[in-house]
Structures are given as C-alpha cells and as structure tokens.
Amino acid sequence: MWKTSETGGAHVEQAIKQLLPPCQIKCPINEDIQRTNVLISLLPNTMEEARGGIIQIGEHLYERNPLFNICGYVCGLCELECNYKNEGGAVRRRLLKRFLSDTYTDYLKEKPEAIIVKDRGDIAIIGGGPSGLMAAYQLSKLGYRITIFESGDRLGGALWLIPEYRLPKAVLSTTVENLIRIMGIDVRYNSKLGEGRTTVKRLINDGFKAVFIAKGTPNARQLTFGKDIVEGQELSGVMYGLDFLYEVSHGNISPDYFKNKKIIVIGAGNVAFDTARTARRLGGDIAMVCLECEDKSHRDGIPADIDEIRGAWEEGIKIHASRGVRKISGKSGKFEKVHCPRCTRVYNEKGFNPEFDTNDEIVLDGDIVIITIGQAADRELLKKEGLLDELGRLSADPHTLQSQVNPHVFIGGDVRRVGFMVEAMMEGITAAESINQYLNGENLKTVKKDYEPFGLPERPMYKQPTEVLWIPPEKRLHFQMFEKGLTLREAIDEAKRCATCGPCVSCKACISIGFEKSLYAVKVDEAKCSGCGVCVYICNYDSARLKSKDGKLTSDTDIFRCKSCGMCVPACPSSARQLVDDLTAAKISKTLTELA
Amino acid sequence: MKKLKIVCFSCKFSWGYLTDDTLLAADIKNWVPIICAGKIDPEYVVEAFTRGADGVLILGCPEGDCHYQDGNLEARKRLAILRQALLTHGIRPERVKLVLSRNPDGKDIPVYISEMAKTISSLNQEPVSTERTS
C-alpha cells in the first residue's frame, strides 16, 4: 500500500491569477478535488486493504476542510462545473467524498487531538454553524484559544435542518463533536448574543481580542404580496418551514403528525423542498406553490436543485408552479385556503419583482400551510449590538469580512448573506485569515483571487458515470438515506473517470505517493527543433505550442499546462525535447546495460 | 536451454503500485516501472534488442484509463509500427508484447514475463540474430 507524504502536499497558492481545474474553482474553499480523485482511483480492491488509503486521503482533506464528511452528503457544487458534464455526466465527486466519509467518520472518533500551543490570545465566535466552526478550526490551528457561543444546545447550526434522509444525524454529530475535541475548542451552549455577558462590548472587555459573528439567519421571512404582508399568517395552521424543520430535527414531531392532512408548502428553494419532502414523510398529502416556473433553465425557473425537484415529484408532491399567494384565509381563527394568482414574471431588469395576473387565480384547500420562502437575520439584535451602519446595513468588507463599524468584529456566513453551506465555510476561513492579520497589525488582504479554469483534455474515449441508486419512492417515505452510496469498486471506477484536467501544481497526487520525484519541466532544444508540430499534435493538454522566433518556427511548452507526462519526448522526430532532472532514461539505460 | 532475457516496462498507474518496488524487483528481472506507457521511446526497445534482450514486455493501463488520456494507445500505435520495422531486421513481432490491463499488487507481472518467455522459446530456440535469415 502506498503512503502519502507531506512533500507531495498540494496547495492553492495565494496568487492573483491562477489556473485550476474548474471543479476546484467552483468549490468556494478550493478543495483538492483532482488529487482526491486520483488517489481514490489507486485504492486497493478490498475494503480491508483500502481503509488505510481512505484515511490518508481523508486526512489531507481534513487539513483544509474538517467538515468534508458532511459535504459528501449535501454539497456537490463542484460537479456543476466538471468538464466531464458534457461527455456523459460530471464525475460524481460528492458521492466519492461520501464514500470517503463513510470510513473516515468512524476514524474521527479515534483521531488524536491536535497538539497546538495556544498562546496567541482569545477569540470569541458567535454561532456554531459551518462558518463559526470553520473559523474556529482555522484560528485554533494558528494558535488562538477559541470560545464558541452557541445559542442552542448543539453545534452545526442550520445543518441540523437538513432532513435525515439526506444527511444522517450521526455523521453530523460525530463530525462536529470530534472537531471540537480534536482542536480543543471551548463551547458555551445556550449562550445567545445580546444576553448575559454575551454582548460584543462585554466580550471585548472580558479579554477577547476579536469577535466573529456567524449567528446565521434564525428568522423565517414573512410572506408578502407586492409590498404588503400577506394577511392570514397569524391563523392557526400556518407555520414556517424553518421552525418546522427545527422541531423535526429535535424529534419533537411524531412520525404520523400529518397523516390524512393536506399540507401546502409555499416556496421553491432547497429548504422548501426539504420541508415538503419531510412533511410527506410524516404522512401528509403535499402541494407546493411557488412563483417560479417549472422550466429550470428559464430565468424565472425553480431555484432548487434538480435532484430535489425530481425526488419531490417521484414522492407524489404536486407543484403548482408560477403561482403567488395573495391571501391566506380561514374560519374561526383556523387556516383553510390559500388564494394563488398566476405569476406572470418573477424577475425583471431590477431583480426580484414579481408580477401577477389576478384574473387567473386558483384557491387551494388545506389543513396546514408551511411558508418557506427564505430566512433573515435578527436585525433588532444586530442593531442593539451596534453592528448596523447609519443606513441600517450590516456592513462588512466583502473581502475581509471586517465590520465597518467596529474593527474588532468580523461578520460572515448566512447572517451576512444566505448561501450554501460551503460558502458559509469559506467566510469562516476568510474571517480567520482577516482576524489573524488584524491582530498581527498587518494590512488586511482585499484582493480577490482570480482563477482561470482548464478545459477538458483530449481523450480518446469517455465513460458513462456510475448510476446513482435511489430507493424507489414507494419504499422511501421514511427518514433513512434514500440514496445508495458507492461501493469501493464503483468509487475506483468513478474516480478513474476524472480526466485530471487541472494543473499538476494544484494536485501532486503522483508525487505524494512517490510515483514521481517532482514535476519535470520540458526543455526544448531550439537548434534541433524543426517546428514540425508533432509535439502539438501529441500533447493532450494544449501545452506544447509553436511560436515564431526570428522567422523560424519552434515549439515550446506552457509550464502551467504541462503534466510532465513525457509523451512529447519520444514523439519528437528530431529529439529536441527532454524532461529536465527526469531519471527515467538513466534508469532504463542502466537496466539495459546490465543485460549484457 | 538458456534463461531468456525479457525487459519489462510497466506503467505505474496500473501496475504494482500497491507493493513496494524493491519487493517486486526481487521477482522481476530487467524491470523498469515508468510513469506512462506513452513515455516509452521505441529507441529503448531497439536498444534492448541490441544489448541482447530476447523480448520486451510493455504493461500499460486498460483502454480509457490512462492518467494522461491516451498514453497507452500511443504506446500501442508506436509498437505496431516498431514491430514492422523490427521484422525487416529479422526480429519477430512476438518479441515485443503490449498488455493493456491492470494489476495493482504487481503479482501478475512475473507471470506475464514467464508466459512471454515461453512463447518466445516455443517460437524459436535460436538466438535473435538467426531469425534474420528465417
């Protein structure tokens, strides 16, 4: 079994402009996706033998992303930009990571604590969700003592609202609990910002050198029609998706809570679909109402992931698309009907600005209506903490996340801008970097990194992706995972599909396991080169190119694109190309000399 | 019968990467693991014969699995042409063999070598040089 070594570690340098594989650019935290794929493709054939390799791959991922076990279940943003998507389907990177997660999550329980001298002062983090945890992890590594002030009784924030059929609770709790243990992070549960000693002012007075506010968006957004709040939201039987998912995650709702009940879910984001599918699993007959149209490719299309839409459809959830809600009506204080005019347009040039045709209105009857149209920060509280600027905005520098009203305070995650889990995680990383620079008295980096994606290399054949298996809809109306994970064999085959389009410097998988000593540069002897262009033909990475110099055509190599594969060397008819420092030719000569 | 000398080049991405090189080398004579079959210069194969090899075995990745996209197929193309050229010098095509397959623990490498040796010895008991006239 191979052993990965540190010298082969890949790192995304803080360059202004850099070539990367498109998946790694799409990932907000720029995870080493290609490297992971290459190493998975080289795992042994039995789980027993492969375990050591999986843990080595996991350890490298953990270094950058201690929540990768969770991402493997819920993210998959990288797949949206995979170059392979036009050749049969993106490499199923999320499932590959989930495959690692299934072994690594168990290993986490025995992973030793990190040995770090924490002598750089205390930092307070408000909120134990993905952003807060990520900042806590990064700052702990840098030697700061971290205290997380968590308003609830568990860490993970909004991740707990992801239904268990998509993310098993055990994976979530094992990951966050061990992160705290491994990094030696203090957590104060049931500590809300603005209560007791947990105010920004008191925390600073108590000796915390900086405060990172990542308290998420606990407030559900109220339903509006035009500029008005929709009437009827106070009726009994009207609830909000966020509260509903919260109660479900705490086990406060019985398994047949919605049995024989008609439920109407308003909204079309991923959270709305989580709500609808959860309610379906509690026995309800579900209809969804949303402004957006069914055509996902349209500007006004449903924003949720295609898999969510498909899943809901399979589970018998009816979607009333292109419908708004003008009014919620009821009798004796109890909800009865929603009145839904046709939505003719959701976005105009100025952005979200729905238009309706009130002559075309349907009325839907139901027992319960669940409003899931977004969430918002607790602005009153933020105002009280002195974090809003004169215009009433929660203003933080978008690059450094430093508050523009209080330099000790940094703000990130959903509270700043609602986004994907991994976007919140990235803000945690950014905040950690900024806090460290701020406390070191350095200038905060305000430069946005700029990455240029690689195209798909030339390949003689493309393979179809591994089929993703879902439990059939009639058998999956429960809270167990409905998607089957990959077997080792499937994982190896799927990882082998990766065309490794990225540059070697961001991967170095082959070096980390000793296949190569370094990434050799190609040297072209211009005196020998005839400019025939065979190397251009043979190179699969658009690295070998012809250029005109003093009226003579010669070839050269773009070192950023070159993979040091050496295929151009024997292809060159005039022996003008060679790999610098490559000992392969010498090894072959030695072996052949010893033949005699 | 004298022991035949088979030179073996194998691609690291499919062959023997799970076993330590030095352990495998004890069982495999004249063996050079290489990063990609597409990197093998036909000149090495020619040189092997001039130095007295009885056969050259090249082990590459299965079709569609090449880490560098098509190194295995490039090797196949080059060897097809090389076999023609070698034949004009009296060296039979069977003396250059390419296998596109996968064996991570590398235990099959000596098996392929001895199989090849068997084929060559059944082909012709005589040394390479006499094939020229046959």
- What sign does the CA torsion over B48, B54, B56, B57 have? negative
For chain B, the residue count is 134
Question: Is 70 exceeded by the pLDDT of residue B127?
Answer: no
Task: Give chain B positions within 8 Å (CB) of A50.
Answer: none
DSSP β-bridge partners for residue A213: A126, A411
* Backbone angles phi and psi of A376, in degrees to 5: -140, 160
The reply to whether A522-593 shares the fold of A122-218+377-439 is: no
Tokens in use for A192? 């809300």
**For chain A, what is the mean pLDDT?**
94
pLDDT at residue number A413: 97
Q: Strand pairing of A285-289 and A318-320?
A: parallel
Task: Give chain B positions within 8 Å (CB) of A516.
Answer: 35
Chain A residue whose CA is closest to B28: A591
Question: Is 90 exceeded by the pLDDT of residue A426?
Answer: yes
CB of B117 closer than 8 Å to CB of B6? yes
Number of domains into which chain B is organized: 1
Between chains, do A42 and B42 touch, taking CB under 8 Å as contact?
no
Domain ranges of chain A: 6-111+461-512, 122-218+377-439, 220-373, 522-593
Domain of B119? 6-100+115-125
Minimal CA separation from A498 to chain B, in Å? 9
Between chains, do A595 and B51 touch, taking CB under 8 Å as contact?
yes
DSSP β-bridge partners for residue A402: A410
pLDDT at residue number A12: 55
What one-letter code names the amino acid at B116? Answer: M
Residue A370, helix vs strand vs coil? strand
pLDDT at residue number A535: 96
Chain B residue whose CA is closest to A497: B65
Task: Give chain B positions within 8 Å (CB) of A510.
Answer: 12, 35, 67
Question: Is 90 exceeded by the pLDDT of residue B17?
Answer: yes
pLDDT at residue number B133: 44
Q: Which of A578, A588, A590, A593 to mutate to test the interface with B (most CBs of B within 10 A)?
A: A588
What one-letter code names the amino acid at A393? Answer: R
pLDDT at residue number A17: 60
Between chains, do B40 and A461 touch, taking CB under 8 Å as contact?
no
Matching residue, tokens 């070998």: A544
Q: pLDDT, tens digit, for every residue of A136-178?
A: 999 999 999 999 999 999 999 999 999 999 999 999 999 999 9
Task: Give chain A positions within 8 Å (CB) of B53.
Answer: 592, 595
How big is the A-B interface in CB pairs under 8 Å? Answer: 99
The mean per-residue pLDDT over the stretch A359-385 comes to: 95
CATH class of A122-218+377-439: alpha beta
pLDDT at residue number B125: 58
CATH architecture of A522-593: 2-Layer Sandwich (3.30)
The mean per-residue pLDDT over the stretch A379-387 comes to: 93
Between chains, do B74 and A538 touch, taking CB under 8 Å as contact?
yes
What one-letter code names the amino acid at A561? Answer: R
Chain B residue whose CA is closest to A571: B41
Q: How confident is the model at residue A9 (pLDDT cuts 50, 70, 90)?
A: low
CATH architecture of A220-373: 3-Layer(bba) Sandwich (3.50)
- Evaluate whether residue B107 is within a structural domain: no
Question: Is 50 exceeded by the pLDDT of residue A307?
Answer: yes
The mean per-residue pLDDT over the stretch B6-20 comes to: 95
What one-letter code names the amino acid at A101? Answer: S
Minimal CA separation from A45 to chain B, in Å? 9
The mean per-residue pLDDT over the stretch A111-115 comes to: 96
**ipTM higher than the 0.85 cut:** yes
Minimal CA separation from B134 to chain A, in Å? 24
Between chains, do B104 and A595 touch, taking CB under 8 Å as contact?
no
Question: Is 70 exceeded by the pLDDT of residue B124?
Answer: no
- Evaluate whether residue B32 is within a structural domain: yes
Report the residue from B51, B68, B104 with minimal CB separation from A592: B51
Of the listed ranges A39-48, A98-107, A122-131, A442-451, the one predicted with least confidence: A442-451
The percentage of residues in chain A with a pLDDT greater than 70, rounded to a whole number, is 97
The mean per-residue pLDDT over the stretch A411-438 comes to: 96
The mean per-residue pLDDT over the stretch A253-264 comes to: 96
The mean per-residue pLDDT over the stretch A475-503 comes to: 95
Q: How confident is the model at residue A19 (pLDDT cuts 50, 70, 90)?
A: confident
CB of A246 closer than 8 Å to CB of A253? no
**For chain B, what is the mean pLDDT?**
90
CB of B27 closer than 8 Å to CB of B110? yes
Question: Is 90 exceeded by the pLDDT of residue B1?
Answer: no
Residue B36, helix vs strand vs coil? coil
Q: How confident is the model at residue A551 (pLDDT cuts 50, 70, 90)?
A: confident
Q: Which of B35, B43, B50, B66 to mutate to test the interface with A (most CBs of A within 10 A)?
A: B35
Task: Give chain B positions within 8 Å (CB) of A49.
Answer: 18
- Evaluate whether residue B134 is within a structural domain: no
- Evaluate whether residue B64 is within a structural domain: yes
Question: Is 60 exceeded by the pLDDT of residue B126?
Answer: no
Chain A residue whose CA is closest to B16: A1
pLDDT at residue number A16: 52
Angle between helices A33-41 and A488-497 (to 10 degrees): 130
Q: How confident is the model at residue A18 (pLDDT cuts 50, 70, 90)?
A: confident
The mean per-residue pLDDT over the stretch A317-321 comes to: 97
What one-letter code names the amino acid at A387? Answer: L
Beta-carbon contacts of residue B14 (< 8 Å; ≥ 6 apart): B59, B60, B61, B62, B65, B101, B102, B103, B104
Matching residue, tokens 């840098």: A142
Report the residue from B12, B64, B71 with minimal CB separation from A515: B12
Chain A residue whose CA is closest to B75: A567
pLDDT at residue number B134: 42
pLDDT at residue number B73: 96
Exposed, middle or buried: residue A263 (CB in 10 Å: 0-12, 13-18, 19+)? buried
Chain A residue whose CA is closest to B49: A592
